[in-house]
């Protein structure tokens, strides 16, 4: 079955170009022109991936990303943001909200297709490890997308969930920020985005885990590790 890409873009010429080239790559496509249409389409059509322009009429792309990644029913749908080069701050915010990647306009169609395939491939690889993880006070159920601390359910964003899962599966190993960025987000960008993205997610993850945050240990100047005995 062909995978379906939802294009959320208000410029007609860009939509036509994306539809034509993505169909050549073997994808099905849907397209909407605004944020409200995006939310409706995701709810009713359940696309495999979303190409999301940030500058949209009505509900902007960042808000759409926040809504989708904050809902357990849609959080697992990957989002690639389409941004202007001048939107550096928005890129960082989008990553913090849980976006899976971004491509700056004007973009190479070959690069975009490669990014789409890489993001979809990572999603399939994550599904290969469905087992429940129970370490220390924390239990993660990848199939149900739930996290509990001593039986208390904790609500995490999609990226916080993936970050915790990677740390727990690598228990005891020190994971660098570069490794976490590549594994959880799947790409390598400028150092300031790397540091802020990973560290901000670790910070918010710790706040939500409360006392159980002691299991996430900072290794100075390198990265983080999960210690179930801490």
Distances (CA, A) of 178 to 54, 146, 175, 190, 221: 26, 26, 8, 11, 12
- Measured at the CA of 52, the angle between CA 37 and CA 55, to 5 degrees, comes to 85
pLDDT reported for residue 75: 83
CA 35 from chain centre, in angstroms, equals 18
pLDDT reported for residue 190: 46
Cβ neighbours, 10 Å, residue 25: 15
By CB atoms closer than 10 A (0-12, 13-18, 19+), residue 124 is exposed
pLDDT reported for residue 87: 65
Q: What is the DSSP string of 41-98?
A: HHHHH--SEEEEESS-SSS-HHHHHHHHHTSTTTTTS-EEEEEETT-HHHHHHHHHHT
DSSP-derived letter for residue 210 is: G
- Provide φ and ψ at 92, rounded to 5°: -60, -45
Report all structural domains of the chain as residue ranges with CATH numbers, in order of start: 4-126 (3.40.50.2300), 133-226 (1.10.10.10)
Q: pLDDT digits over 57-66, tens only?
A: 999 999 999 9
Which residue numbers in the chain have pLDDT < 70? 85-87, 124-130, 187-195
C-alpha 55/C-alpha 60 separation (Å) is 6
């Amino acid at each position: 079955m062909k995978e379906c890409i939802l294009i959320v873009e208000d410029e007609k010429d860009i939509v036509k170009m994306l539809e034509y080239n993505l169909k050549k790559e073997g994808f099905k496509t849907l397209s909407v022109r605004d944020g409200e249409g995006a939310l409706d389409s995701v709810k009713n059509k359940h696309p495999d991936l979303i190409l999301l322009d940030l500058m949209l009429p009505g509900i902007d792309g960042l808000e759409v990303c926040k809504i989708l990644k904050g809902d357990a029913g849609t959080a697992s749908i990957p989002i690639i943001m389409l941004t202007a080069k001048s939107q550096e701050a928005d890129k960082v915010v989008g990553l913090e909200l849980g976006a899976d990647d971004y491509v700056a306009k004007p973009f190479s169609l070959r690069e975009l297709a490669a990014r789409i395939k890489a993001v979809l491939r990572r999603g399939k690889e994550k599904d290969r490890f469905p087992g429940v993880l129970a370490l220390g006070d924390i239990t993660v159920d990848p199939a149900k997308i739930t996290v509990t601390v001593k039986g208390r359910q904790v609500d995490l964003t999609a990226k916080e969930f993936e970050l915790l899962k990677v740390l727990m599966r690598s228990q005891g190993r020190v994971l660098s920020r570069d490794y976490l960025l590549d594994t959880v987000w799947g790409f390598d960008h400028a150092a300031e985005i790397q540091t802020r993205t990973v560290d901000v997610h670790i910070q918010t993850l710790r706040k939500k885990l409360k006392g159980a945050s002691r299991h996430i240990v900072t290794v100075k100047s390198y990265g983080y590790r999960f210690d179930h005995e801490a």
